[in-house]
Amino acid sequence: MLIGFGIMLATFVAMEGVAWGMHKYVLHGFMWFLHKSHHTRHNHAFELNDLFFAYYGTLAMLFFIFGSEPLDYRFWIGAGITLYGVAYFLIHDVFIHRRLKLFGKTSNVYLKALNMAHKVHHKTPGKYGSEAFGMLWVAPKYFKSAYDIVQKQQNEKGGTVHYKRT
């Protein structure tokens, strides 16, 4: 069981690399015709880009099915993919894009840096020229900017920042 949780955690971490590669080379590559719906303004709840959830959901489901009797490593890989999907939905769709209005503004440096990186990614509406393709990993330059913004906001309010630059 402990090994299974380790496999699940390793899969979750590896999914950030998979998501980065898929986003940069597939979504901004030959599957742009679906992903471009995510880079354009619209007034509807769903976009063609949401079909990628079905792909990852099907992949996770297959790992669950083929790894459940007897329970083996494939089950835990499916669990890791699913866990990453839940994190993606909560962070990307709910927190960053506000598809559901569950979270307000944050003074958390990591979340602010993540949001800033994603906004920079969307600054270029086309297929080429974007940066910051990951979902959970944030380049250090965004941490510095986010820290400075949070520190300024806290100083204006008379509070303290609970993150130190090294």
Report mean pLDDT in 10-residue bins for the chain, 166 residues. 95 96 94 89 80 93 96 97 94 79 77 88 85 87 88 76 55
Question: How many percent of the chain have pLDDT more than 70?
Answer: 93
Whether the link from the prior residue into 125 is cis, omega within 30° of 0, is no
Q: 83: burial class by Cβ within 10 Å (0-12, 13-18, 19+)?
A: middle
Cα separation, 141 vs 29, whole angstroms: 26
Least Cα distance to 135 among 99, 85, 98 occurs for 85
Secondary structure element (H or E) that encloses residue 88, with its range: helix 73-88
Q: Which tokens go with 106?
A: 């944050």
Contact by Cβ (8 Å): 77, 63: yes
Q: Which tokens go with 24?
A: 């940069």
pLDDT of residue 161: 58
**Cβ-Cβ contacts under 8 Å for 82 (sequence gap 6 or more):** 60
Q: Which tokens go with 45?
A: 């709840």
Maximum distance among all Cα pairs of the chain, rounded to whole angstroms: 58
Q: Is the pTM of this model over 0.85?
A: no
Give the model confidence (pLDDT) of 24-55 as tens digits: 999 999 999 999 888 888 777 788 888 888 99
pLDDT of residue 162: 58
DSSP structure class, residue 127: S
